[in-house]
Chains A and B, each alone.
Chain A
Amino acid sequence: MSIELEATTRDQSLEVETPLLVVENLFKRYGKGCAHCLELTGPEQDTNHCRNCGALIACAEVNFEIYPGEVLGVVGESGSGKTTVLRCLYKDMEPTSGRAFLQAFDNGQTDIFQTNSQQTRYLQDFLMGMVRQNPAMGLRLHITAGGNIAERLLAADWRKVSEIRERSSGLLDRMEVPIKRMDDYPAFFSGGMQQRVQIAKALANQPVLILLDEMTTGLDVSVQAGVIDLVKEVQRESGVAIIVVSHDLGVIRLLSERTLVMKNGRIVESGLTDQIMEDPQHAYTQLLVSSTNY
């Protein structure tokens, strides 16, 4: 049995394309901050710490857009601000300043960083899905796999038990989690299986945007290839847009068409993925690419 993943907005015409998500000047600071924070941090200074006031700049001056049906990669070293960007978008944390507009939310008229709790719930439960690096954060490990997905469906106003059951089993099957394990607890699943349950959960409400945070880190290569392959297939079937955060260039190369490179909280370079890999422009990207064998 396989499940049909209904297509969301898929726009092939390039000339008059509206971005799905526009992020403007996203800035996240821990600490009080001062007037010199921006000039004293960043890739040129090679630090995230403002030496004047001691504040930590997790990310700053982050601008990008993503189009319907696109897969956007974000690479960078640990502490470069990749996850912060995702968590701000998913409303896990409050950015210090900046704006973001999601086309599916109020036609892109309302800044998603300025929403009330009800709107935040709508964004998280209906429009976006997130897969976290640590399955313990993305799943309730002591609720069954099916229950994890059902919880999300309930949040999105699904009410019929039979329908919820059918949808969750279909999704788990699609993600190659054996149906007979549906009523087992994810705590007893292998890492790869937990990540697949997370992806099934993220897909459950047919979101317009899925955020993948280091979803294959810690998995062995064959399981990693399987998860990547499934994500690619599901993306193609449903046309959902995806932001993939990874420090693994191999994962980025396989999944994304365009890539952003981050260092010390700033985007230092963006472009076509093969351009980033074969003709990197920024010093950091050159170091990054020359350090791997991809």
Chain B
Amino acid sequence: MNGFHLKVNNLSKHFLLHILKGKQVRAFEGVSFEIKPGEFMGIAGVSGSGKSSILKCIYGTYVASDGEIFYQPEQGQVRELTKDSARQLAGLRGHEIGFVSQFLRPLPRTTTQDLVANPLLQTGVAKAEARLQAQELLGRLGIGPELWDGYPVFFSGGEQQRVNIAQALIRRPRLLLLDEPTSALDTENQAVVVALLEEAKAAGVTMLGVFHDPALLQRLSDKVITLSRGKQVA
């Protein structure tokens, strides 16, 4: 390994809002950092400072306005994600890069266990096997068997968030992007999620996380960058 797993160079994001007569909104500007394989980097900052936007640029949900994102896949050459086609980015999702968003987006007519098993099914894993893995992961996150056949739309916020985490973890991505994965959880469930994240870290998963709770951020992170009004201040 020649060093980094993910390297972000002078990354910027502006939104150009045509429907508001070309108004420009700045998300963040000139952000640079480097994450080594297996490292956990945290992003700190108040709401609206551009933390989540950085994650979304890396995941391809946002189109970066300027700068470079270098990614070292498991096999092959370093890729520059801002120049990759949509098809190439889609290929990285799941197995290489996983994303835990703040909110769960349930699929219609899909039970909890199938929702979590869904990413595995798409890679060709047999249904029974995928369900088994989903059940195990859900069990560990405190979602009991009585909820496995329930529909997540009816779940509480905390339960939905845990289903969301399970959905991202089941593919065992090499890089995990975490967008406030514990914001709706009580301390007990937060501890469960943190334990799971620490376990993933011990298994060598590289992580980039946004957390509101500074104590949690310090506990999990090997290093932290801080954003203020879209600029990197530390």
User: Which residues in A have some Cβ–Cβ distance to B below 8 Å?
Assistant: 10, 14-15, 17, 67, 70, 225-226, 228-229, 236, 254, 257-258, 270-272, 274-275, 278-279, 281-283, 286-287, 290
Contact = CB atoms under 8 A, between A and B. Distances in A.
Nearest to A291: B19
B19 A275 contact: no
Contacts of B63: 271, 275, 279, 281
B74 to A, nearest CB: 12
B17 A286 contact: yes
Interface in B78-125: 86-91, 107-110, 121-122, 124
Interface in B25-81: 56, 60-63, 76
Interface in B152-186: none
Contacts of B62: 275, 278-279
The 9 tightest CB contacts between A and B, nearest first, are A283-B18, A225-B108, A14-B91, A279-B62, A229-B109, A272-B86, A271-B86, A274-B61, A225-B109
Contact of A257 (B18, B19, B76, B90): B90
Nearest to A66: B87
Contact of A275 (B16, B86, B110): B86
Given A15-B76, A272-B61, A275-B61, A228 B86 contact: no
Interface string B7-23: 00000000111110000
20 contacts: A14-B88, A70-B87, A226-B109, A229-B107, A229-B110, A236-B121, A257-B90, A258-B87, A270-B86, A271-B63, A272-B60, A272-B90, A274-B61, A279-B56, A279-B61, A281-B16, A282-B18, A286-B17, A286-B18, A287-B18
A19 to B, nearest CB: 9
Residue among A14, A254, A282 facing the most chain B CB atoms (10 A cut-off): A14
Contacts of A15: 76
Nearest to A19: B87
A53 to B, nearest CB: 30
B65 to A, nearest CB: 10
A278 B61 contact: yes
Contacts of A274: 60-61
Contacts of A225: 108-109
Contacts of A286: 17-19
A182 B66 CA distance: 58
Given A272-B60, A286-B19, 12 more contacts: A67-B87, A229-B108, A229-B109, A254-B107, A271-B63, A272-B89, A274-B61, A275-B62, A279-B62, A283-B18, A286-B17, A287-B19
Contacts of B88: 14
Contact of A258 (B17, B56, B86): B86
Contacts of A236: 121-122
A101 to B, nearest CB: 17
B131 to A, nearest CB: 14
A286 B90 CA distance: 22
Contacts of B108: 225, 228-229, 254
A282 B88 CA distance: 22
A70 B88 CA distance: 12
Contacts of A279: 15, 56, 61-63
B50 to A, nearest CB: 14
Residue among B86, B87, B88, B109 facing the most chain A CB atoms (10 A cut-off): B87
A14 B110 CA distance: 29
A67 B88 CA distance: 11
A258 B91 CA distance: 11
A286 to B, nearest CB: 5
A17 B121 CA distance: 22
Residue among B60, B61, B89 facing the most chain A CB atoms (10 A cut-off): B61
Nearest to A259: B86
A283 B15 CA distance: 12
B93 to A, nearest CB: 9
A232 B118 CA distance: 11
Contacts of B122: 236
A9 to B, nearest CB: 14
A275 B60 contact: yes
Nearest to B121: A236
A225 B110 CA distance: 10
A266 to B, nearest CB: 16
A283 to B, nearest CB: 3
Contact of B90 (A10, A258, A270): A258
A71 to B, nearest CB: 11
Residue among A278, A279, A286 facing the most chain B CB atoms (10 A cut-off): A279
Contacts of B89: 272
A271 B82 CA distance: 12
